[in-house]
Each structure stands twice: as structure tokens, then as C-alpha cells.
């Protein structure tokens, strides 16, 4: 159901000079089942108020579908909540809760909720997920000893809706309609607000600090011990490091459903550029709650404030761009199922690079992921690992890495591989927020210029003496190369082997004598990723000046383009490559 918009009423009431008389400041009523309504009021001086809420008594083994509360508009903290256990019953299923308390001058917001809290009554007490809800509903329906059902609850609510609500009365104090924004005082020191966030949202705002500054984070979201669903975080734009993230441990109950959490934290941030993010899943948000909402529903999101208003002068705002593709060194994006893509880049001087990669992973293992190898040594310099990724939105298996690494001058090759399901264009569960980024993007790090980077092509590398790659089944290939002087060469070969024997493998012969000077054996190989029979050799040997022929042969199964088991990590290089090390 669509939530009613907040309506703020400010009514002037005048006390008699001789007789104190209670006046109704505001009443929140006409609330629909599974809906929320609110009214606002302002007290111009400290005074005593009386609060009266009419709630619906829960049925047998059923939760109460009504809640009432008041929050302080300045602090956004709750000052009163109706406790159904302290109320007095009236005719029918209604309970009236009446309480008097003293409130300081200021703005307030009164709420009345018609959402059933399915977790905390009867057999619903331990319900947490949708599977528990379905199981418990079935028990309620088919339990002959239970006279109540969820339909009974809604019927009872509709029958008594004209009597449900909360009213605020004041005595000798005054209230006046002198403000249109009850949160204005709270937002006086705010410099960034992402609030009222709906379902399936991905919102980011950039801000800068010219001086070291203490800020306050106020964030409401949906967080459980098992995971985060609607939450926020802040990153340092230059280092890509996460400086703060909302989780279960740094938040407290926010009222309403058990999964509503609120974080109020002080952060000391050095001068720099930052980005604040907020993401939400497909249910339970400010657009439409599926359980009782939090005490401060309008601030579902993140708000950043300074403690001293004078510090606002050190805060700047900018439009944050997650990835500027015009500056990308390598962009392997929109990768589909069963793909392996690669591209190279060169660095003239030692540099920091940013890597932004979105892929698939679960249970501490990645299935669609990226890695980078040093073209000269064939050694991996970076791999996308599950424990270094964050949730990328949608399904929990959508993962994102956004960080930096330092690389020496040299040539590098970026790889990205996907398995047979859940990739760009063919999702088997909820897609990530940044669908087009499924793959990997490499960009210059902060302080680096585009002039320090250039493209690199393995096929045109002058250090490559011979390359037989992407070899298919039943192949027998050879390539000749010359050495004008004694040379150290790197041999990088991928083939198939098992139980001490090789089936797809390479060797080198002296062209003049026909003598084998090197051969790939199982004993010298190591696992090449994927199936255990994928084997790799990456070693350096010395060869005297002369003419040579390199060979590579495969059997009738398990080779590039037709794997009968899991492919190796570097499938395109199934074969053998000889490179000069001296150059």
C-alpha cells in the first residue's frame, strides 16, 4: 500500500487566565491497514502534554497491527511510545493508552502505524525470513485450535479504523504554526542528505573537506547480523578505501521491525574528497514498508552533519562519477556467460592504478572475476578475491572490488572470466546495481596522468620469440625462432596432464641437430587453475645462439574451445610462449 504523505499541523491554542483547560494540539487518525500516518506540532515553551492512543488488541497468536509514538524534531530521537500492556481495554478489541509527560519547547512529530509486527507474538516470535513467514502463516491457517488469521486481523482493523489513532493534548502552554519544516533545526548543520530512499536504490553523493573535520553520521537502514540490505558507506575517493560502513555492530534498533537499525557516529576525517553511498534491496523501504517502520521513517537513508556550523565553510560538494570511461586504461565490461576476455596496458613509471570490477562469488569463492599478470614474468600481480569484495547490490552473490594497487613500470595483461550462468544479459537472480560494469575497468590512480599509460598488445611484443596459443584438440603445431647470441628465455606453457603423464604439452628442438633441448613434463608443472589436469610451466632457461623450433601438440579432448572439465585460469594461452628475458 502507498504510504500517506506527512502532514504537519500547527494549531494555536489559548489558555484561559482563570481555568486551565486541555486543548487538542493534533490528532493522527484515518490510518489504513499496513500504512503509516504522521502529524507535526510545535511547543513554544516547556510544558506538560497528555498523549492518548487507541490501539488494536492483538488476537490469539497474532501480532498487534498498531503502534503510536512521538519523536523530537531536533534530535530525531523518540520521546514517547504507546505501550499496549499499560493501556485499559474498552468495548471490543480496542485498548486506550493514556500518559502525561513534560516536553521541552520545540518541534515534534506524532506517528501512528498500521503495520503488523509478525515476529513478536505467539508462534511468530522467532520469525525472521520469508520462509519462516510462509511456514507460520500455514500453521495459523490450518491450526483448528486457532480462531484468528491474518485476514481476521485486517478485518478487525478496518472495522475499528475510525476509532484508531493518537491525540496530543496540552495544558497551559502554547503551540503555534510558525514552521513548515520540523526537521529544520536538525538539518541546520547538515551538508549531505540522502533520505526517503525507496526500493532497489543506488545513490551516491560526493563531498570534499578543505580541513580535517569532525562529522556526525546519521543513517537508518535494514541490517541484520546475517547481512546488510539497505545501508550506507563512505569512501575516500583518492585511496578508494572505505572509511565508514553501516553494519549491525555499529548500529542499534531503530524502532518498529527488528531489522530496522540506526547508526549515529562521530567520524574524524582528514581533508580530502569523499563519496557517500546508500543502497537498498527490493523490499522494506521508505517507499513501501513490509513490516513496522522505524521511529524516524522519513530519514531512511544517510545524513551527514558537522558539529560546529562554522565548519560548513570547509565542506564542498561535487558530482561524483564512479567510473570515467574516457580515462580508462582497460575496460572489459558487459561480459556475458562463458567468456574470457583480456587486454593489455603499459606503464612508463611506477604508478598507482585503480581497479573497479564487478563479478560473481559466494562462500569465499569467485566465479566471475578478474586478475592482472605481469606480461614479462607471467606472474599474477593482482587477483579479485572474495574477502576483498563488497556486496554489489541485488543478489548477495554480486560482488564488487573497488581499490588501488601500486605497480612498477612494465607491461601488464588484464583478464576477466565468467562461468556458465549469471552474467551480463542473462541474470539468474537479482542483477547488480551497476550492470554494465560486469567485468573489470582499470584507471590511472590519483596523481597519475594519462601520458604514463599506453596500450599493450602481446602479439606485437618484441620480447616474444615464439607463441603458439589457443591450441585446439588433435593439433600439432610448430614455430621457428633464431637467437643471435646466448640468451635467457622464459617458457610459459599450459597443457593437460594427469598421474605423472602429459597429454597436451610442448617442447623445443635445436633446428640444426634435431636434439630436444627442453620438454614440458608433469613433474616440472604446477596447477594452472580449474581442473586438476590443467598444468602450467613458467620457468627461465638459458639457450645458446642458434636456430630453434618450438612444438606443441594436443590429444583429442580437453583443449581450447572444447574443455571437458573446468578450463584453466588463462585459457587463451593454452599452448607455449617463448620470451626473451635479456631484452
Residues 190 and 215 in one domain: yes
Is 237 a domain residue?
yes
Is 180 a domain residue?
no
Residues 240 and 259 in one domain: yes
* pLDDT tens for each residue of 73-104: 999 999 999 988 887 766 678 899 999 999 99
Residues 57 and 45 in one domain: yes
Rounded average pLDDT over 278-283 = 92
| pLDDT at position 139 | 58
Contacts of 25 (CB under 8 A, 6+ apart): 11, 13, 41, 49, 168, 169, 170, 175
Would the CA dihedral through 118, 250, 277, 316 be positive or negative?
Answer: positive
How far are the Cα atoms of 53, 58, 117 from residue 121, in angstroms, in the given order?
20, 8, 8
Contacts of 130 (CB under 8 A, 6+ apart): none
- Residue 177 predicted with pLDDT over 80: no
* pLDDT tens for each residue of 404-436: 999 999 999 999 999 889 999 999 999 999 999
Residues 385 and 488 in one domain: no
Q: Pick the closest to residue 149 from 58, 66, 67 (CA basis).
A: 58
383 φ/ψ angles, rounded to the nearest 5 degrees: -135, 140
| pLDDT at position 123 | 47
The count of C-alpha atoms lying within 13 angstroms of the C-alpha of 513, restricted to the half-sphere facing its C-beta, is: 7
Residues 377 and 496 in one domain: no
Residues 163 and 248 in one domain: no
Mean pLDDT of the chain: 88
Cell numbers at 19, concatenated? 481555568
Residues 299 and 344 in one domain: no
Is 178 a domain residue?
no
Q: Domain with 514 in it: what CATH number?
A: 2.60.120
Between 279 and 5, residue with greater pLDDT: 279
Residues 304 and 350 in one domain: no
CA dihedral 332, 334, 340, 343 (to 10 degrees): -10
Lowest mean pLDDT, pick from 11-25, 320-334, 545-559: 11-25
CA–CA distance, 379 with 167 (Å, rounded to integer):
71
71 φ/ψ angles, rounded to the nearest 5 degrees: -120, 155
Is 116 a domain residue?
yes
Residues 153 and 93 in one domain: yes
Is 396 a domain residue?
yes
Residues 335 and 440 in one domain: yes
Is 148 a domain residue?
yes
pTM of the model: 0.78
How far are the Cα atoms of 208, 220, 324 from residue 278, in angstroms, in the given order?
18, 10, 20
Rounded average pLDDT over 196-219 = 96
How far are the Cα atoms of 24, 161, 495 from residue 131, in angstroms, in the given order?
45, 31, 47
- Which of 266, 291, 318 is a domain's end point? 318
* pLDDT tens for each residue of 481-523: 999 999 999 999 999 999 999 999 999 999 999 999 999 999 9
Residues 44 and 162 in one domain: yes
In the three-class reduction of DSSP (H, G, I as helix; E, B as strand; rest coil), residue 526 is classed as strand
Do the Cβ atoms of 569 and 457 come closer than 8 Å?
Answer: no
Residues 488 and 504 in one domain: yes
Contacts of 4 (CB under 8 A, 6+ apart): 31, 32, 35, 36, 37, 38
Cα–Cα–Cα angle for 134, 135, 138, rounded to 5 degrees? 85
- What confidence category does residue 131 fall into, taking pLDDT thresholds of 50, 70 and 90? low
Do the Cβ atoms of 352 and 404 come closer than 8 Å?
Answer: yes
Between 122 and 320, residue with greater pLDDT: 320
Is 179 a domain residue?
no
Q: Pick the closest to residue 274 from 304, 300, 301 (CA basis).
A: 304
- Domain tally for the chain? 4
Range of the domain at 243: 186-318
- Residue 311 predicted with pLDDT over 90: yes
| pLDDT at position 10 | 34
Is 175 a domain residue?
no
Cell numbers at 315, concatenated? 565542506
Amino acid at each position: 500500500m502507498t504510504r500517506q504523505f506527512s502532514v504537519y499541523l500547527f494549531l494555536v491554542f489559548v489558555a484561559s487566565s482563570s481555568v486551565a483547560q486541555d486543548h487538542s494540539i493534533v490528532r493522527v487518525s484515518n490510518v489504513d491497514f499496513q500504512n503509516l500516518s504522521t502529524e507535526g506540532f510545535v511547543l513554544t515553551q516547556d510544558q506538560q502534554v497528555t498523549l492518548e492512543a487507541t490501539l488494536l488488541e492483538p488476537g490469539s497468536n497474532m501480532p498487534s497491527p498498531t503502534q503510536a509514538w512521538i519523536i523530537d524534531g531536533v534530535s530525531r530521537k523518540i520521546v514517547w511510545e504507546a505501550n499496549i500492556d499499560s493501556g485499559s481495554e474498552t468495548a471490543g478489541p480496542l485498548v486506550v493508552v493514556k500518559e502525561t509527560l513534560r516536553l521541552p519547547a520545540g518541534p515534534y512529530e506524532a506517528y501512528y502505524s498500521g503495520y503488523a509486527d509478525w515476529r513478536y507474538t505467539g508462534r511468530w516470535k522467532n520469525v525472521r525470513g520469508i520462509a519462516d513467514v510462509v511456514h507460520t502463516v500455514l500453521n495459523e491457517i490450518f491450526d483448528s485450535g486457532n480462531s484468528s488469521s491474518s485476514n481476521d486481523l485486517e478485518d478487525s482493523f478496518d472495522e475499528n479504523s475510525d476509532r484508531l489513532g493518537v491525540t496530543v493534548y496540552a495544558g497551559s502552554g502554547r503551540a503555534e504554526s510558525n514552521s513548515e519544516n520540523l526537521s529544520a533545526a536538525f538539518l541546520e548543520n547538515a551538508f549531505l542528505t540522502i533520505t526517503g530512499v525507496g526500493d532497489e536504490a543506488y545513490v551516491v553523493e560526493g563531498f570534499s573537506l578543505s580541513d580535517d573535520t569532525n562529522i556526525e553520521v546519521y543513517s537508518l537502514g535494514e541490517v541484520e547480523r546475517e547481512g546488510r540490505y539497505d545501508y550506507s558507506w563512505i569512501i575516500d575517493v583518492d585511496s578508494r578505501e572505505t572509511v565508514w560502513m553501516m553494519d549491525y555492530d555499529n548500529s542499534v534498533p531503530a524502532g518498529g521491525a527488528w531489522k530496522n537499525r540506526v547508526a549515529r557516529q562521530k567520524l574524524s576525517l582528514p581533508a580530502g574528497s569523499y563519496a557517500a553511498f546508500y543502497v537498498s534491496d527490493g523490499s522494506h523501504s521508505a517507499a513501501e514498508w513490509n513490516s513496522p517502520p522505524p521511529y524516524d521513517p522519513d530519514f531512511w537513508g544517510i545524513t551527514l552533519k558537522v558539529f560546529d556550523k562554522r565548519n560548513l565553510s570547509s565542506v564542498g560538494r561535487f558530482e561524483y562519477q564512479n567510473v570515467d570511461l574516457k580515462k580508462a586504461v582497460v575496460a572489459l565490461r558487459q561480459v556475458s556467460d562463458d567468456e574470457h576476455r583480456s587486454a593489455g596496458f603499459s606503464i612508463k613509471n611506477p604508478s598507482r592504478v585503480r581497479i573497479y570490477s564487478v563479478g560473481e562469488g559466494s562462500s569465499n569463492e569467485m566465479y566471475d572475476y578478474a586478475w592482472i599478470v605481469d606480461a614479462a614474468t607471467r606472474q599474477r600481480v593482482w587477483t579479485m578475491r572474495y574477502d576483498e569484495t563488497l556486496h554489489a547490490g541485488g543478489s548477495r552473490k554480486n560482488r564488487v572490488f573497488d581499490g588501488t594497487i601500486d605497480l612498477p613500470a612494465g607491461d601488464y595483461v588484464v583478464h576477466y572470466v565468467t562461468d556458465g550462468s549469471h552474467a551480463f544479459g542473462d541474470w539468474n537472480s537479482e542483477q547488480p546495481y551497476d550492470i554494465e560494469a560486469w567485468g573489470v575497468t582499470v584507471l590511472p590512480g590519483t596523481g597519475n596522468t594519462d601520458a604514463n599509460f599506453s596500450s599493450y598488445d602481446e602479439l606485437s611484443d618484441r620480447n616474444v620469440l615464439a607463441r603458439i596459443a589457443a591450441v585446439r584438440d588433435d593439433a600439432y603445431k610448430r614455430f621457428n625462432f633464431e637467437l643471435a647470441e646466448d640468451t635467457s628465455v622464459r617458457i610459459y606453457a599450459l597443457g593437460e596432464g594427469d598421474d605423472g603423464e602429459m597429454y597436451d604439452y610442448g617442447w623445443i628442438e635445436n633446428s640444426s641437430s634435431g636434439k630436444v633441448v627442453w620438454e614440458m613434463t608433469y613433474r616440472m608443472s604446477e596447477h594452472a587453475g580449474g581442473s586438476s589436469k590443467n598444468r602450467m610451466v613458467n620457468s627461465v632457461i638459458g639457450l645458446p645462439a642458434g636456430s630453434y623450433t618450438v612444438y606443441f601438440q594436443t590429444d583429442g579432448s580437453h583443449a581450447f574451445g572444447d574443455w571437458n572439465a573446468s578450463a584453466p585460469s588463462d585459457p587463451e594461452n593454452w599452448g607455449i610462449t617463448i620470451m626473451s628475458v635479456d631484452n
